[in-house]
Structure 1
Amino acid sequence: MSIDFSHYIHKVQQDLHRIPEPAFKEFKTAAYIEKELKSMGYTVQSGIAGTGVIGTYKGERDRPCIGVRADMDCITHEEDGRVFYHHSCGHDAHSSIALGIAKLLSEQKEKMKGSVKFIFQPAEEIMQGAKAMVHEGVLEDVDSLIGFHLRTATECPTGSMSPALMHSAGTILTGKIQGRTAHGGRPHLGVNVIDVFGTLINSINAIRPNPQTGTTIKFTSLSAGGGSYNVIPGSGSFALDVRSRDNKELHRVLERIARIIHHTGSMYDATITYKVEGRVPAPRYSEELIQEAKVAIESVLGEGKAISPILTPGGEDFHYYTDLTNIEAVFLGIGANVSPGLHDPSMTFEKNSLVEAANVISHLVNQLHNKE
C-alpha cells in the first residue's frame, strides 16, 4: 500500500468526521462523496432516496456488476439536555473505505473485467435507508453486494477481518395502556396500569424462545403515574426490544407477545394498544461469497487473518437488501480495535484498519470479476 493512498483514506475519514449528519440529512456528506467519485471518473447519481449517492463504472463487460455499500449517517446523542451529532458508529470510516476502494479500482479501470457500483446509503441508524434504496431500484443491475463494519478487538483482532458478520433480527415495539384513574382510597373504582404492567412483564418474560436462535426479549421503557401519590394511575406506556438470529423465531415470539397483550388487557378491563416502530431482518448470505471473502482477506492480510464468522446481537439495515430482493450478499467484519464501543460518543478506532479493509475489498471485487 502506498503512503499516498493511506494519506488519502485518512484525510477522507477526517473530513467526513467533521461533518456528522443524521438520517436523511446527509447533504454535506453526499456532496463530498459525489465530488470525490466524479474526480475519479465514475458516473454519479445523487439525490437517491433523498441523499443517497451512486457511483458506477462499467469495465470490459457490464456483468458481473459488484455492488459496494457504505452508510453515511451519524448518531444523534443527548447528554445533559444537549443534543449533538457524532460519528460514533463509524459510518465516516465506512464511507472512507468505500471511497478508498473506488480510488484503487479507478487506477486499474482498463483491467476491470466487470462493473462496479458504489452505493452510499442514508439513514442506516433508523433502519430505513436500505429499504429506501431498494425501492429506488439501485440493485436492479447488481449481481453481488458487499457490506462491511468496524468491530471491537474482542470480536475481531486488529489486522484481521471476518468474512461474515452475523447480526440479529430485531424489532422495537411500543405500546400504551389505558386503564381508569381513581382516588387512592377507592382503588376498586379504578384500573391501575401498574398492576397491568406487573402481569404484562411477568407473562412476556415467561416466553421461552428457542435458545439456539439467540432470541432475547427486554422491556426497555415503562412509564406510569408521576402526579400525586394518592392517585391510581390510569394510563401508561412501555417499549420492548426483541432480537433473534432467526427471522422465523422472531415472528413466532412477536405472535406470542401479541396474544399476551390481548389477554392481559381483557383480564384487567384495560385497553392496550401497540405498534412495531422498527424492524430489521437477520442476514441471508451467500456461502460462496463468504468463501470468496475469506480468500480475499488471506490473500491481502496473510494466512490466518480471516477469522470465523462473528455472531452479534446488534442489527444492521444492510439485510433489507437481501430481505427485499434476491441479491447475493456478504457483510465483512473489520478488526479495528473499536473502543470503548460502538455508539459511544468517545468511540475511537485504529485508522490503519481502513486502509487494510479498502485493499481487501478491492481485491474481492477483482476476484469476483475474474471468476469463470
Structure 2
Amino acid sequence: MKKTIQIDLTKEARKLLPYLVDVRRHIHAYPEAGADQPLTVAYLVQQFEGMDVQLTYGGDHVGLVVDIVGHQPGPTLGFRADTDALELSETKDPLHTPNRLGFRSTIENYMHACGHDAHTAILMGLGRLAHANRDRLKGRIRLLFQPGEEGYYGAIRMVKKGYLEEVDQVFALHCHPALHTGRIGYRSGSIMAAVDVFMGKITGVGGHGASPHTSTDQVLALCRTIENLQAIVSRRIDPLASAVVSVCYLSAGSRETKTIMPAAVEFGGTVRTLDAGVRELIKNEFPAICDASVKSIHPRCRVDLDYHYGYDETINDAGVISNITGILSACMDEPDLLTDYPPLLGSEDFSSMLTEVPGAMIFLGVTPGDVDTASVPFLHSPDFDIDETALMHGVRTFGNIAFNYP
C-alpha cells in the first residue's frame, strides 16, 4: 500500500473505528427526521468540546458547520454529511444487528435506513483526524452537518445561508449496499438523477357498480392513465437514455363500500432522469398524455395535474474527479477504486451544493466482502444495515482528500 502523506491515514482511520461505531450507533438509536434535529445537533456539539474548532449553528432547518484550520496554507474544502432519518419503522427481526446488539431506533416510526447515521459518524471521524493533525493540514476543512436531505431541501438552506461561499470544493459520501466494504465508486458527470414529483386527480360522474354506463368510470380512466404514462419512457425517450416514471400512490373508492364507483380518484409518483432535455420532455408530455387517457374513457372525465421539479441531477466536476483519482489511486488497491461507476436513479439534494461549488459525490461500499450484494436489503428498507468496518474506509477516503487535495 503506497502512502501519499507523512501520516498513515489507513492506520489512523482504523484506530478511530471504535469511536466511529459508538457515534453511528448513538445516532442510529436516536433518529430525528426532517429539518429540525435539536438532539442530533446537541450530540454533535458535545463531540467537539475541548477542540480548537469554530462551530456555527444555523438554527432550526439549517444544521451545524464546523471549521478546522490547518497550520499550512491551502484551499477550503467542504465535507458534507446528511444527518436526518426516514419516517420508517425499523424491523423487529431479532437477527437484525441493531436489534441483536441493542441500538435499534428508540423512536417509533423513525429510522436511519439510508446510511445517514454512518455519514455523520464518518464526518465526525474526519473532524477528529483533521484536528489531531492540524500541523499537517493545508488550508481549512469545513464540516457540513446537514439536516433535511430526505425531501426537506436541507442543502439549499445551507447554500442560502452562505456556508458554501468560502468553500473551494465540496465532497460527500453515500453508503451503497451494491458495493463491498473497502470499495468506493464514482464517476465524472451525472452520478445521481434529478427527481420530479407528480400528483393527479381525476374527476367525473360516480355511480353504482352494477350500472357502470351511468358513470364516467374514473377508476378505468386511472388505469388507462397509468398504462399510457409508461409509454413516455418506452416510446418517447431514446432507449440509450435513462428515465423512470413510477406511479407509487393510488386512492380510489371505499374499502367498506365496494359497490360505489367513485366520482374522484387520485394518483401520484416520481420521475427520475439523468439529462436535462429528457427531464423537460417528460414534464411537457405529462399533461397531454393524462388528459388524452381520461378522455379516451369518457369525454366528461377531467384530470388536474400538479407536476413540479424536485432535486436536480447530482453532477460531479470533471476536474475534481481527476484530482481525487490521482489522490486515491496512490493509497487504494486498483480493484477497490471504481472510477467510472454507473449512475444511480436515486436522487440527492447535495446536487444543490454542487451547483454552487465544484465537487464530488462518492459511493461507499457497506456490504461485507463474503456476502452477495444482491442479497442484502437496499436503502430505505426497514431491514437496512451496514458493515460498520466501512466507517473507517469512509474516514480514510475523506482524510486522503482533505490532506492531499492540490
Q: TM over 0.5, yes or no?
A: yes
State the alpha-carbon separation in 2 of the partners of residues 273 and 39 from structure 1: 57
State the alpha-carbon separation in 2 of the partners of residues 296 and 163 from structure 1: 14
Distance 1:96 1:230, change over 3 A: closer
State the alpha-carbon separation in 1 of the partners of residues 217 and 108 from structure 2: 35
Distance 1:86 1:230, change over 3 A: closer
The residue aligned with 2:98 is none
Q: Secondary structure at the match of 1:316?
A: coil
Q: CA deviation at 1:44?
A: 0.4
Q: Deviations over 1:79-132 (max 9, x none)?
A: 89x952111111110000001111111112123221111101001112511122
Q: CA deviation at 1:63?
A: 5.4
Unmatched 5+ stretches in structure 2: 1-10, 92-106, 369-375
Deviates more, 1:15-24 or 1:290-299: 290-299
The residue aligned with 2:238 is 210
| TM-score w.r.t. length of structure 1 | 0.89
State the alpha-carbon separation in 1 of the partners of residues 286 and 108 from structure 2: 34
1:346 aligns with 2:383: yes
Q: Deviations over 1:148-182 (max 9, x none)?
A: 11112xx3232111134821222221111121223
Correspondence list, 1:205-354, <5 A: 205-207=230-232, 208=235, 209-226=237-254, 228-264=257-293, 268-276=299-307, 279-307=310-338, 308-323=340-355, 325=356, 327-337=357-367, 339-354=376-391
State the alpha-carbon separation in 2 of the partners of residues 104 and 141 from structure 1: 22
State the alpha-carbon separation in 2 of the partners of residues 234 and 83 from structure 1: 36
The residue aligned with 1:366 is 403
Q: CA deviation at 1:271?
A: 2.8
| TM-score w.r.t. length of structure 2 | 0.82
Q: Deviations over 1:199-253 (max 9, x none)?
A: 3123212222222221111222222222644433210000122112223212211
Q: Secondary structure at the match of 1:75?
A: coil
Q: Secondary structure at the match of 1:22?
A: coil
Contact 2:76 2:167 in 1 (8 A): yes
Q: Secondary structure at the match of 2:336?
A: coil
State the alpha-carbon separation in 2 of the partners of residues 285 and 121 from structure 1: 19
The residue aligned with 2:101 is none
Contact 2:20 2:391 in 1 (8 A): yes
1:146 aligns with 2:171: yes
1:35 aligns with 2:46: yes
The residue aligned with 2:220 is 195
The residue aligned with 2:58 is 47
Q: Which amino acid aligns with 2:361?
A: F
State the alpha-carbon separation in 1 of the partners of residues 163 and 60 from structure 2: 10
The residue aligned with 2:3 is none
Q: Which amino acid aligns with 1:15?
A: H
Q: CA deviation at 1:258?
A: 2.0
State the alpha-carbon separation in 1 of the partners of residues 17 and 223 from structure 2: 56
Aligned residues: 364
1:101 aligns with 2:131: no
From 144, 152, 158, the counterpart of 2:181: 158
State the alpha-carbon separation in 2 of the partners of residues 132 and 85 from structure 1: 23
Distance 1:313 1:177, change over 3 A: same
Q: Which amino acid aligns with 1:168?
A: A
State the alpha-carbon separation in 2 of the partners of residues 349 and 231 from structure 1: 47
State the alpha-carbon separation in 1 of the partners of residues 360 and 63 from structure 2: 21
State the alpha-carbon separation in 1 of the partners of residues 205 and 282 from structure 2: 29
Contact 2:81 2:146 in 1 (8 A): yes
Correspondence list, 1:46-125, <5 A: 46-48=57-59, 50-60=61-71, 64-78=75-89, 83-125=108-150
From 27, 30, 37, the counterpart of 1:19: 30
Contact 1:67 1:116 in 2 (8 A): yes
Q: Which amino acid aligns with 1:271?
A: R
Deviates more, 1:158-167 or 1:93-102: 158-167
Q: Which amino acid aligns with 1:74?
A: A
Q: CA deviation at 1:313?
A: 2.0
1:6 aligns with 2:7: no
